[in-house]
Amino acid sequence: MWAKIAAAFGAPILAAALVIGVLHATHHTAVPPLNFPSVPSAAGFAKSPGSSTKPILPGPCIGRMPKHFAGVAVKKRIEANTATFAKITGHAPQMVEFYNPFLSPFAESQALKVINAGEIPLIQLNPYKVTERQIAAGVYDRHLKRYAQAVRKFGCVIVLSFGHEMNGWWYPWGRPRTSPADFIAAWRHMHDVFTKQGARNVIWSWDPTHQYRSPVPGKVASPASEWYPGSNYVDWVGLDGYLNYDVNGHPQNFSEIFDVQLNIIRHVAPHKLVYLAETAVPAGPAALKQIDNLFSGLSSYHVAGLIWFDALGRLDQTGKRKDFRLQQRPDDAARYKQQLSLFLR
């Protein structure tokens, strides 16, 4: 279908057309080959006149990639942590996810490190210290325009997500502070600003959490469909969720975590590419079986890829953090490497 699309480094309009064509032709019943940025190594970049450090980026960086992909999410030391993760898993990640506050400038240096390694930046833009209602009302348009202009100037395609896990209760941009209507209005406004600024080298990834109900009083999650900005404003859907242990200490499986929201997403966004934008398995006696189950679930549910969260988790009710870093778990890393090889081939 799209397997014949060759790598292209052409005019921005042609490149944008290629991106749009690929994004809107995918369907959830099968995982087609994907078009991602394809970039040269750092040594392949030309230097700007009078500068020994800043490269000239080669246009929108459109290229081909296999139908399945895998990546890593890191909180700091992008280059070092990504390199270590690649070494222990036997595969360089095709996508690297990192996190930035909404009011920060475009993270060009971080994105450039990812691009120079031949990988794709996935930026989680988190609206701390602002409200979605303010964003939708245009209070931060000056900032958004500068951000969009910087992304356009950057040239290479980035994946951009805003307010991930918005349908959960643990972030200030979710319930109860934010309503679905305010979130959708903010997302659409941001998208419109980027479009008007000509920043068409963005793949918009909408990333809800797998949670869809209230597990205990005071903690309220809702179906992802309530927060969906609409097909004209979303390119990909990245679902977040982890195979942990339930309240009775039983290890969780893929269907238990993802089935409900995946079915909801298939209904509300039937023609969008779906992947796991943040997932992992913690250290524990069931880790090997859970890693096996994670990959079998990806295939069974026709999920395009996964991003492994390579960091410590949030504090739990006991005040402890789950450790998802495979570098600390050689047996689990070996099993992940084995399953990843099968998934990517």
Q: Are 173 and 166 in contact (CB under 8 A)?
A: yes
61 domain-assigned: no
Name the β-bridge partners of 122: 97, 159
Which CATH number covers residue 307?
3.20.20.80
Domain span holding position 320: 66-344
295 domain-assigned: yes
Range in 134-143, 189-198, 241-250 with the lowest mean pLDDT = 241-250
Q: Kindly state the helix (H) or strand (E) to which residue 134 belongs, with its residue range.
A: helix 132-136
State yes or no: pLDDT of 49 exceeds 90. Answer: no
Range in 39-53, 132-146, 159-173 with the lowest mean pLDDT = 39-53
What would the mean pLDDT of 102-118 be, rounded to a whole number?
93
Taking alpha carbons only, the member of 68, 73, 163, 149 closest to residue 114 is: 73
Taking alpha carbons only, the member of 254, 234, 249 closest to residue 295 is: 254
State yes or no: pLDDT of 56 exceeds 60. Answer: no
325 domain-assigned: yes
Rounded to an integer, what distance in angstroms lies between the CA atom of residue 239 and that of residue 136? 24
Please report the sign of the dihedral spanned by the C-alpha atoms of residue 317, residue 319, residue 323, residue 324: positive
Q: Is 138 left (phi over 0), alpha (psi -120 to 50) or beta?
A: left
Residue 13: pLDDT band (50, 70, 90) is very low
Query: What is the structure's pLDDT at 51?
Result: 33
32 domain-assigned: no
What would the mean pLDDT of 244-259 be, rounded to a whole number?
94
Residue 37: pLDDT band (50, 70, 90) is very low
Residue type at position 87: K
- The gap from C-alpha 87 to its chain's centroid, in whole angstroms, comes to 21
Residue 46: strand, helix, or coil? strand
What would the mean pLDDT of 41-70 be, rounded to a whole number?
48
Rounded to an integer, what distance in angstroms lies between the CA atom of residue 313 and that of residue 74? 11
Neighbours of 110 (CB within 10 A): 18
- Residues 66-108 pLDDT 10s: 689 999 999 888 999 999 999 999 999 999 999 999 999 999 9
47 domain-assigned: no
To the nearest whole percent, how much of the chain has pLDDT over 70? 79
Range in 19-23, 167-171, 326-330 with the lowest mean pLDDT = 19-23
- How is 99-123 classified by DSSP, letter by letter? EEETTSPP-HHHHHHHHHTT-EEEE
Name the β-bridge partners of 279: 308
245 domain-assigned: yes
204 domain-assigned: yes
Q: Total structural domains in the chain?
A: 1
| Six-digit token string for 107 | 């993270």
Taking alpha carbons only, the member of 175, 176, 173 closest to residue 135 is: 173
**Burial category of 37 from C-beta neighbours within 10 Å (exposed 0-12, middle 13-18, buried 19 and up):** buried
217 domain-assigned: yes
Q: Is 322 left (phi over 0), alpha (psi -120 to 50) or beta?
A: beta
Phi, psi of 279 (to 5 degrees): -155, 165
